[in-house]
Amino acid sequence: MKTIAGFVVLMGIVLFFADAEVLAPLDGLAVYFVVSGLLVLTIAQLAGSREKHWLCRIGFHDFERQERVEELPAMRWYRCKRCGKEKHAASIV
Ligand SMILES: [Zn+2]
C-alpha cells in the first residue's frame, strides 16, 4: 500500500511540473492537474489489477471472524471474504 501511495504521489509531482511548464498561464490550476493526475493513477492502479477486489486494494477488506488464535485466547483470526487476507484482532466474543 505504501509503495502504491508513494508511486502515485511521485507521479503527481512529475505531472505537476509537466503541466506547469506547458500551461504556465494556468499556474493557479496546477493543483487540479495534480489531483486529476492522482485520480487517473489511482484508477489505473485499480483497473490494472484484477487479482484483488478494488475495495481490498484501497484497504477496505471484508473481514469475517474465524477461529481463535491458539496462543492468545483473547484474539481471533479474521479472513477477508474477497481476497483471503488474514489478520488477528482482539475479540471478546
Ligand atoms: Zn480483502
One domain, residues 17 and 43: yes
Structural domain range at position 84: 61-93
One domain, residues 6 and 39: yes
Lowest mean pLDDT among 1-5, 15-19, 28-32, 70-74: 1-5
pLDDT at 77: 93
Dihedral (Cα; 82, 85, 88, 91), 10-degree rounding: 0
Distance 79 CA to ligand 1 centre (A): 8
39-82, pLDDT tens digit by residue?
777 777 666 656 678 888 888 999 999 999 888 888 999 999 99
What does R_g of the chain's alpha carbons equal in angstroms?
A: 20
Residue 89 near residue 78, CB atoms below 8 Å: yes
Q: CA-to-CA distance for 39 and 71, rounded, in angstroms?
A: 43
20-34, pLDDT tens digit by residue?
566 566 556 667 767
C-alpha cell belonging to residue 25: 498561464
Distance 34 CA to ligand 1 centre (A): 29
pLDDT at 6: 64
32-42, pLDDT tens digit by residue?
767 777 777 77
Q: CA-to-CA distance for 93 and 86, rounded, in angstroms?
A: 18
Distance 8 CA to ligand 1 centre (A): 21
Is 9 part of a structural domain of the chain?
yes
Considering the entire predicted model, what is its pTM?
0.44
Is 93 part of a structural domain of the chain?
yes
Is 54 part of a structural domain of the chain?
no
One domain, residues 6 and 35: yes
Is 40 part of a structural domain of the chain?
yes
- Tally of structural domains, the chain: 2
One domain, residues 65 and 93: yes
Is 31 part of a structural domain of the chain?
yes
Distance 69 CA to ligand 1 centre (A): 20
Q: Where are the beta strands (DSSP E) in 2-85?
A: 63-68, 75-80
